[in-house]
Amino acid sequence: MSLRRRVLGWSAARPTRSGYALLAPGMIWLLLFFLAPIGLMLVYSVMKRGLYGGVEPGITLEHYRRFFDPLYLDILLRTILWSFVCTVLCLVIGYPVAYVVARAGRWRQWLLFLVVLPFWTSFLVRMFAMIFLLRDSGFINSVLLRAGLVHEPVALLYTPFAVMLGLVYGFLPLMILPIYASLEKLDVALLEAAEVLGATPRARFTRVIFPLSLPGVVAGSLLTFIPALGSFVTADLLGGAKQVMIGNLIQNQFTVARNWPFGSAAAFVLMGVVLVAVVGYLRRRDARELVG
């Protein structure tokens, strides 16, 4: 059964008036602070650039046209590739972690606590902490040098490796938690049934456990992929700003370049890509599930 049908089938009763009232704060919040800014940005993206920031009256599609230049498209493609690799790495690393945590018995709460712990500090602070780990005179190199494994510090900071490390480190909990949630709900009776019916451990995983955890995998992948697409701090701080991701390009348009319309247009192209990717992904999954 698809995720959508499951949610829709949850309650046949129509929401009552008090049910709608409960929705109001959320709706108002989204309208004011999500839709309104996005609408504003859409308007900006077709206006003329103000020389000193802001926009000036006039309608133009020039900013969108400008974006479809190999220079900017290349940056966009590279960002998508990076985000994809980051998502796959998070999945490969995060799935076993979620699996172990979900069946850790009395240790579960503690392990879960450790997974959530990084959220106690801001993403930015964690990226700065990585600098101290990775730099030439940082912790990792000191240990390697002292252990005699290397004779010169290994260049870790300001490399593509550092950027990927930072991204995976930053987003890993977002992958682990949804997968954990779907594995934790898993009915042990199903596994017993599979075993009784002669499924090997391998088959139990591929035919029972993994399919049932798919909603978590999907949610985790989206929660990782989308913010990775828009991230800019990691590339700046850990990559030494030697590579631009689309997020850096957009941020730069609003600050240094003072080209708000172009920044808005680039943000909308990015949003369009995310939308197409996500909708396409969910559609295919839905279709597959219905067939299966």
Partner 1 sequence: MANRATGELARREFVRRVIATGAGLATANLGLAGCGPKVAAGAGEDLGPIEKGLNLYLWSDYLADDTVPNFEKEFGVKVTVDTYESNEEMAAKLMAGASGYDLVLPSSYLFPVLFSKDLLAPLRRKYLTNWGNVAPLFLNPPWDPGNAHSVPWGWGTTGIAYRKDLVRERPDSWAVFFDERYRGKVTMLDDLRDVIGSFLRLRGRSLNSVDPAELAAAKQDALKAKPNLRAYVSAPVKAQLIAGDVWIAQMWSGDAQQAIAEQPAIEYLVPKEGGTIFSDALVMPRSAPHQRAAHEFLNYILRPPVAAAIADKTGYGTPNQAALPLTRAKVPYPTADELGRLEYQKDLGQGSEQWDRIWTEIKAA
Binding residues for partner 1, per CB under 8 A? 37, 40-41, 49-57, 71-72, 74-75, 124-125, 128, 131-132, 135-137, 153, 155, 157-158, 233, 236-237, 239-244, 248-249, 251-260, 263
CB of 27 to partner 1, least distance (A): 21
Shortest Cβ 271–partner 1 spacing (Å): 14
Closest separation in Å from C-beta 56 to partner 1? 6
Nearer to partner 1, 7 or 256 (CB): 256
Structure tokens at 239: 């990559």
Q: CB of 8: closest distance to partner 1 in angstroms?
A: 35
User: Least separation, in Å, of the C-beta of 249 and partner 1?
Assistant: 7
Q: What distances in angstroms separate CA 90 from CA 113, 138, 179, 224, 270, one per listed residue?
A: 19, 25, 11, 8, 22
Closer of 216 and 263 to partner 1 (Cβ)? 263
User: Which of 274-277's residues contact partners 24+ apart within 8 Å by CB, and which partners?
Assistant: 274/226, 274/229, 277/225
State whether residue 53 is helix, strand or coil.
Answer: strand
Question: Which residue number, 60 or 243, has a Cβ lying nearer to partner 1?
Answer: 243
Kindly give, in sequence order, each residue whose CB lies less than 8 Å from that of residue 102, ignoring residues fewer than 6 positions away.
Answer: 108, 180, 183, 184, 186
Q: Find, among 84, 254, 115, the residue nearest to 184 by Cα.
A: 115
> In this complex, which beta carbon is closest to partner 1, that of residue 29 or of residue 107?
29
Query: Is 87 or 251 the residue whose CB approaches partner 1 more closely?
Result: 251
Place of tokens 């049934």: 193
Cβ proximity to partner 1, 60 vs 252, nearer residue = 252
d(CA 252, CA 254): 5
Q: How far is the CB of 288 from partner 1 (least distance, A)?
A: 37
Structure tokens at 185: 């709900």
CB of 87 to partner 1, least distance (A): 22
Whether the Cβ atoms of residue 271 and residue 167 lie closer than 8 Å to each other: no
Of residues 89 and 167, the one with the C-beta less far from partner 1: 167
How far apart are the C-alpha atoms of 264 and 258, rounded to whole Å?
Answer: 11
- Among candidates 70, 69, 76, 62, which has minimal Cα distance to 261? 62
